[in-house]
Amino acid sequence: MICLPRSNIIIKVKGLKMVNKVNTRVTVDIPTIDHKKLKILAAFHGKTMREIFVEIIEQGLEQYPECPKNHTPNEKTKKALESTKNKKGLKKTESVEELFKKLSN
């Protein structure tokens, strides 16, 4: 369950496989007035509430481009990734706290 900050929207997600597509079922708790608006909007446009909801989400997601940062690893990171791939210099720990202690040394 995901609670979005500064809102009263609660989203529950479960995997759902559909014909030739993998979708995710999302249950959204929204205020009653917004539900009524969504229902009216769908009826006005001759669409289902699901279709309107998906369109709204797709338009909203366009406002948030993928991470703008450059994620090209530098030499130090490349070396660490290569070492990890070759299982060199790995540290085994029993807990997260122990891991951070070892990493800080």
Q: Terminus-to-terminus CA distance in the chain, angstroms?
A: 37
User: Rounded to two decimals, what is the model's pTM?
Assistant: 0.43
46: pLDDT strictly greater than 90: yes
Q: What share of the chain in percent tops pLDDT 70?
A: 73
The number of residues in the chain equals: 105
Distance in angstroms (rounded) separating the CA atoms of residues 38 and 45:
11
Q: Could you give the C-alpha distances from 102 to 60, 65, 78, 98, in angstroms and in order?
A: 43, 37, 21, 6
pLDDT digits (tens, 9 = 90+) for 59-89: 887 777 666 667 788 898 888 888 888 888 8
Summarize the chain as % helix, strand, coil (round to 5). Answer: 45, 20, 35
